[in-house]
């Protein structure tokens, strides 16, 4: 509870203090209400001693009825404010690093899932529920004081110990369940993924292939597997939990019976009986709040686990690394050199690149070809500095990218504009998709050059159309249209000062005429900047100043189209194969 409250003080101090003050006031008025009930019951209307306690009782009743409303309002504010802070802290470690190696770390994803809590029992929910826990403990103390003054302090202590012992047992159960849940984040992620598949990602394919029942069964099986240890744990502890409650009820019953007997035997006055019985009846209510998962107790366990995961997540991804190194002084001319570079993905056993050396000269138009899985996209990731080589160096105008601090790396990444195979298709407006927050640039010029202007002009709201049919008035684009828009995005970035244009399969989704159109414009697009184009279509790579072939993790061939054809190596073989296919297809028409 303390950890959660301290976190609350950090992220939403105003709401937390106000909600706690309200909870304390609520508990005090609740205790006063019990006390005044006895006074009213025991007072003699004839003697006029009735009026004051009755008036105070009414006031206490009104205040204790109104306070929960204020408290709920404050707790809602606390929860909402904390939620913003928590979600920021959950997302920030993912997006802050300029590299992406942490995205391949399963533990990072596990910690992210665990930091979300269980279901809707998140850190922010648990935090607001802790305010309720403070209130219930104070109410327990208030009721115990009243009971102690009447039935004896030993009994008040026994009552508190019994209540707290049952609460501790329940807390232990919740802790075990939270631990089981937190330990199976991979299963949870898989079930979420299956759910996501059905709802959005592959919704069309799943329906076309009639996979609905397979998916439903997979989801149910995954969910049952996740919950099985939780249910087994509950079954194991049912007996002890039942015994604890029976014992607890025995303690309470003893107090009630003793009060009634003492009252009838004249050992207790009417005032005392009228105070102690409501006080005893109020005690289980303080525990009742702890019984459910959404109570302060249940959510407190989950919230603490989630908070720990949140801190571990931040620590795992690490603070921005202030690496040494001189500040880069990249001018207009960019020269990129891969110096004996080797690379292996984290956790993998095979090198994707090894001993790769390559120079991209200033303003050079370089094309990169290679079979599927040769490592072309990986080379782009190293070039952009999102991964660091496992051996060797990537130098930009002589500066090793591995020595840059986060800020310098961000400046380098701003000089690279890359349209990768899985470029982002954002459910935002067409203009936002092209500008990506880069202000007021001439998007029409870029759209004309990328061939996007035609279809953008026909969109219902032009550049302001949201590119997702899931939104009101939004539309979906075809894959080829998206590709043209992505090209426009790259051209806008080039106009904004990016010095290196990377196009990874820019024509993959284009038809033959559009591809020819793109190739015609490619030279124009890349004038004045260094460029690297990756494509399996030889018509796209042919006009490049130089073509390099990536094979076995290194550059196997390098030269112009004519030189490589004359050399009769891998390039010539791949080109001839594709040209033959194309010719045969054309002849077959």
Q: Does 268 bind ligand ATP (CB under 6 A)?
A: no
Residue 13 or residue 106: which is nearer to ligand ATP going by CB?
106
Tell me if 32 sits within 8 A of 261, measured CB to CB: no
> 3-class SS at 548?
strand
Q: Does 372 bind ligand ATP (CB under 6 A)?
A: yes
CA distance 145 to 32: 11
Q: Does 255 bind ligand ATP (CB under 6 A)?
A: no
Paired tokens of 120: 């809707």
Q: Does 506 bind ligand ATP (CB under 6 A)?
A: no
Judged by CB under 6 A, the stretch of 71-79, 139-147, 375-383, 408-416 that binds ligand ATP is 375-383
DSSP codes joined into one string, 290-320: HHSTTSHHHHHHHHHHHHHHHHHHHHHH-S-
**Among 94, 223, 254, 345, interactor with ligand ATP by CB under 6 A:** 345
CA dist 259 → 140, 255, 415, 514 (Å): 18, 6, 82, 91
Q: Does 135 bind ligand ATP (CB under 6 A)?
A: no
CA distance 570 to 576: 10
Contacts with ligand ATP by CB under 6 A: the residue count is 13
Q: How far is the CB of 90 from ligand ATP (least distance, A)?
A: 22
Tell me if 117 sits within 8 A of 127, measured CB to CB: no
Q: How far is the CB of 457 from ligand ATP (least distance, A)?
A: 33
At residue 99, φ and ψ (nearest 5 deg) are -95, 175
CA dist 193 → 28, 95, 108, 198, 219 (Å): 48, 21, 16, 9, 9
**Among 378, 433, 531, 535, interactor with ligand ATP by CB under 6 A:** 378
Tell me if 299 sits within 8 A of 129, measured CB to CB: yes
Q: Does 373 bind ligand ATP (CB under 6 A)?
A: yes
**Among 200, 348, 357, 478, interactor with ligand ATP by CB under 6 A:** 348
Q: Does 322 bind ligand ATP (CB under 6 A)?
A: no
Task: Give the angle 285-287-288 at the CA atoms, nearest 5°.
Answer: 60
**Among 142, 370, 506, 553, interactor with ligand ATP by CB under 6 A:** 370
Residue 376 or residue 554: which is nearer to ligand ATP going by CB?
376
Q: How far is the CB of 2 from ligand ATP (least distance, A)?
A: 41
Residue 375 or residue 506: which is nearer to ligand ATP going by CB?
375
Nearest to 98 by CA among 377, 363, 415, 362: 415
Q: Does 106 bind ligand ATP (CB under 6 A)?
A: no
Q: Does 377 bind ligand ATP (CB under 6 A)?
A: yes
Q: Rounded to the nearest 10 degrees, what angle do helices 270-291 and 123-151 cross at?
A: 160
Residue 213 or residue 372: which is nearer to ligand ATP going by CB?
372
Judged by CB under 6 A, the stretch of 202-210, 289-297, 374-382, 391-399 that binds ligand ATP is 374-382
Beta strands in 202-335 (DSSP E): none
**Among 75, 98, 112, 376, interactor with ligand ATP by CB under 6 A:** 376
Judged by CB under 6 A, the stretch of 65-73, 334-342, 368-376, 438-446 that binds ligand ATP is 368-376
DSSP codes joined into one string, 149-176: HHH-HHHHHHHHHHHHHHHHHHHHHHHH
Residue 344 or residue 441: which is nearer to ligand ATP going by CB?
344
Residues near ligand ATP, by CB under 6 A:
104, 345, 348, 352, 370, 372-378, 421
């Amino acid at each position: 509870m303390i950890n959660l409250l301290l976190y609350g003080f950090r992220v939403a101090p105003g709401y937390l203090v106000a909600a706690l003050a309200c909870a304390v006031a609520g508990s005090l008025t609740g205790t006063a209400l019990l006390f005044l009930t006895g006074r009213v019951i025991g007072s003699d209307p004839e003697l006029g001693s009735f009026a004051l306690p009755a008036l105070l009782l009414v006031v206490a009743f009104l205040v204790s009825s109104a306070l929960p409303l204020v408290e709920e309002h404050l707790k809602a504010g606390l929860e909402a404010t904390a939620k913003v802070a928590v979600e920021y802290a959950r997302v920030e470690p993912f997006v802050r690093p300029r590299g992406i190696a942490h995205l391949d770390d399963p533990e990072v994803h596990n910690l992210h899932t665990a930091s979300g809590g269980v279901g809707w029992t998140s850190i922010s929910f648990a935090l607001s529920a802790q305010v309720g826990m403070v209130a219930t403990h104070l109410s327990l103390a208030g009721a115990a004081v009243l009971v102690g003054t009447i039935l004896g302090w030993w009994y008040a202590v026994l009552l508190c110990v019994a209540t707290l012992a049952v609460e501790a047992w329940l807390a232990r159960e919740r802790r075990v369940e939270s631990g089981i849940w937190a330990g199976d984040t991979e299963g949870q992620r898989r079930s979420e993924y299956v759910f996501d598949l059905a709802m959005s990602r592959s919704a069309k394919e799943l329906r076309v292939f009639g996979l609905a029942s397979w998916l439903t069964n997979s989801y149910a099986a995954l969910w049952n597997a996740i919950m099985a240890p939780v249910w087994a744990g509950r079954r194991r502890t049912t007996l002890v939990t039942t015994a604890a409650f029976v014992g607890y009820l025995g303690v309470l019953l003893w107090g009630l019976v003793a009060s009634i007997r003492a009252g009838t035997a004249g050992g207790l006055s009417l005032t005392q009986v009228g105070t102690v019985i409501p006080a005893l009846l109020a005690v289980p209510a303080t525990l009742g709040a702890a019984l459910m998962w959404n109570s302060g107790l249940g959510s407190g366990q989950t919230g603490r686990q989630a908070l720990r995961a949140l801190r571990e997540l931040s620590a795992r991804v690490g603070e921005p690394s202030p690496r040494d190194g001189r500040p880069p002084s990249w001018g207009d001319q960019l020269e990129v050199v891969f110096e004996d570079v080797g690379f292996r993905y984290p956790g993998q056993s095979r090198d994707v690149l090894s001993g790769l050396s390559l120079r991209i000269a200033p303003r050079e138009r370089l094309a990169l070809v290679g079979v599927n899985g040769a490592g072309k996209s990986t080379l782009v990731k190293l070039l952009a500095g999102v991964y660091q080589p496992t051996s060797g160096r990537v130098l930009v105008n002589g500066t090793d990218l591995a020595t840059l601090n986060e800020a310098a790396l961000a400046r380098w990444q701003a000089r690279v504009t890359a349209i990768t195979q899985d470029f982002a298709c954002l459910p935002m407006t067409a203009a936002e998709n092209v500008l990506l927050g880069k202000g007021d640039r001439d998007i029409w010029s870029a759209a004309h050059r990328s061939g996007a202007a035609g279809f953008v002009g026909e969109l219902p709201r032009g550049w302001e159309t949201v590119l997702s049919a899931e939104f009101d008035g939004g539309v979906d684009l075809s894959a080829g249209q998206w590709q043209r828009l992505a090209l426009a995005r790259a051209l806008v970035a080039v106009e904004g000062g990016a010095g290196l244009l990377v196009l990874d399969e820019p024509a993959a989704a284009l038809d033959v005429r559009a591809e020819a159109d793109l190739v015609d414009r490619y030279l124009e697009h890349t004038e004045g900047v260094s460029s690297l184009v990756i494509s399996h279509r030889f018509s796209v790579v042919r006009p490049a100043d130089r073509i390099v072939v990536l094979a076995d993790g290194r550059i196997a061939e390098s030269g112009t189209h004519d030189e490589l054809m004359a050399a009769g190596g891998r390039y010539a073989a791949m080109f001839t194969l594709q040209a033959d296919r194309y010719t045969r297809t054309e002849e077959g028409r």
